[in-house]
Structure 1
Amino acid sequence: MKNLLLILAVIIVMISSAGCVSTSQNIVGTWTSEKLTDFPAPNVTQIVIMFNPGGKGTETWVYDDGADYVSNMTWIQNEDGSYAYAYDSWLTTVSEDSMYATDEEGRTFVREEGDPLDGYVGTWKTINEYEYNGMLYTIKNEIYANYTGLSFWTDQYGVSDKPWEMVWYPYKENAYINYYEEALIHFTILPDGTGTDNYNISYTKS
């Protein structure tokens, strides 16, 4: 999605490089936050994060009336040993000859630059214009070997938005998970076994 409609204003934290999906079991499991007293979203008393194997999971907001709100997410391990997860992500599948790519939004891209032997790495441009919020866009994604990238959106009038910084990682053969870096929430496991995120909320694993 072009506009990330997160309820929270996610803090933009730059990471130098995002690695592949972690095989570590330290993060896998259920993490429950401390009781929340000053959370920005009203009436949210606790957050429960489920990190599943394979880089998938959920984040659940628990409300004071017993209701909850569940968001799907994907997660990775950073080079420094910390973790990061994001709500908004999309899957891109590359053709066998690495000349075409299709994503979950139904958009088809053709390779403009890069060696097909490098797989997903290279420059990709949509074959057809993509409609979003009543406007037509041409999208060009520059995918870099260090698991980052830039997404350029140009509207039907030739006006280009500021490029969106991307993070990507291999999911399975010829398939890759992508998300915009500003959607990242960082999660660190502390020496005492508890966890914390970039909102300084503490979590305990169960």
Structure 2
Amino acid sequence: MSRSTTHTFTCPCGQPFSGQAYEYVNAAEDPHLRYVVLAGLINVATCPNCGRRAAISTPFVYSDPAYKILAYVHPRADAPEDARILILEKLRDVYMDASKVRDQQSNKDENNNGGRVVSLTPSEAKDMPPLKVVFGIEQLGEVIGAVLSPEDRLGRLALSTQSRNEAERGQFHDITRKLATEMGCCIEVEDQPDEYTVWVHGSRRQVGALMRELATRG
């Protein structure tokens, strides 16, 4: 299961708001998060009042077993070289420890000493993909995009209304969010004075299915 924490912000416009910061993304159990990453929306909070965005600079692990991707994601694409080297060295040690298979004797020692050893079964160690270290969400998107089929690559659909009525905009948001959720997609909102737009992000297959659903209802 993916893991996240809630962060609270106060926007320059004065509006307090919160956002989720993911520490672990499991695309096997939460496939829509694959497209949250590809859309550049992971660990980004948006003010509901003015639309300003706040990036939450939290490193996280991205796991996508279907495509054999296991990546440690550092939020800064411009991380200096010395910082990159230090991160790579630490992660190499952690990964090597996690990949070790504990034998019966080590189990016995652990029980006697009350220690905690991170280990995997032989099958888990064999199936564990190599750990990638990426710097910045854009680089992670390139890693994911390189292994997706054309139909599974990122697709986008814009749904908009020119109504200025807040209640109507809220209803429009709820309807599009529900449809997107049913299709396994995620949404992004652009709230402008003259137009309210909900961007739907998902695979091209999912977005195509949503377009057909809308045409049927229309």
Please confirm whether the aligned pair reaches a TM-score higher than 0.5, indicating the same fold: no
**What TM-score do you get using the length of structure 2 for normalisation?**
0.25
Larger Rg: 2
More strand by share: 1
Q: Which has the higher contact order (CA 8 A, sep 6+)?
A: 1
